């Protein structure tokens, strides 16, 4: 079965699914793909090693000064601001890299010692080490009368 679709329909589908606009002519250097200003959600791994919670995130091409990590009770925030592309090109044939801000809010599965959290950026991987502590709050079941 062959499905026929108008070019304008396929452009609309592309635009809706990728949040990008196709150039009217791929040979026109003045007409580039437009990135959306929205923040992308940073992919992460959350694991436990001994008495530490470890969070790892790929943040390629950033310096430690570009990244902020904050913790508020059981929520960790990671944010990297927008960075300009390495250089201006005459024409893009494919443009998939996101140069805008990226962020992530992580609900921590265990209680951690906020005063002793460490973060390191090496080879484009952000590694955050959070020492696990015994929770000071206990769950209490309340009887309903």
Backbone angles phi, psi at 70, to 5 degrees: -135, 155
Residue 25 and residue 67 in one domain? no
Residue 76 and residue 120 in one domain? yes
Q: What is the pLDDT along the chain (145 residues), one digit of tens a residue?
A: 444 444 454 445 555 555 555 444 444 445 444 444 467 889 999 999 999 999 999 998 888 988 999 999 889 999 998 877 778 888 888 888 878 889 999 999 999 999 999 999 999 999 999 999 987 665 677 888 8
Structural tokens at position 135: 């929770």
Q: What is the pLDDT of residue 128?
A: 96
Q: Quick check: is 144 in a domain? A: no
Q: What is the pLDDT of residue 16?
A: 55
Q: What is the pLDDT of residue 19?
A: 52
Q: Say what the pTM is.
A: 0.66
Residue 4 and residue 46 in one domain? no
Radius of gyration of the chain (CA): 22
Q: What DSSP letter does each residue of 71-108 carry, written as one string?
A: EETTEEEEEE-----SS--S--S------S-EEEEEE-
Structural domain boundaries enclosing 14: 1-34
Residue 48 and residue 87 in one domain? yes
| Count of the separate structural domains present in the chain | 2
Torsion of CA 83, 14, 25, 84, to 10 degrees: 0
């Amino acid at each position: 079965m062959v499905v026929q679709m108008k070019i304008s329909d396929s452009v609309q589908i592309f635009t809706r699914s990728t949040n990008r606009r196709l150039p009217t002519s791929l040979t026109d250097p003045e007409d580039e793909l437009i990135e959306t200003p929205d923040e992308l959600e940073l992919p992460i791994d959350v694991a436990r090693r001994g008495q530490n919670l470890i969070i790892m995130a790929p943040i390629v091409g950033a310096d430690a000064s570009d990244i902020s990590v904050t913790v508020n009770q059981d929520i960790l925030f990671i944010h990297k601001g927008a960075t300009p592309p390495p250089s201006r090109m005459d024409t893009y044939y494919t443009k998939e890299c996101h140069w805008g801000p990226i962020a992530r809010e992580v609900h921590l599965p265990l209680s951690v010692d906020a005063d002793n959290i460490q973060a390191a950026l090496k080879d484009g991987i952000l590694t955050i080490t959070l020492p696990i502590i015994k929770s000071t709050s206990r769950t209490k079941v309340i009887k309903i009368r």
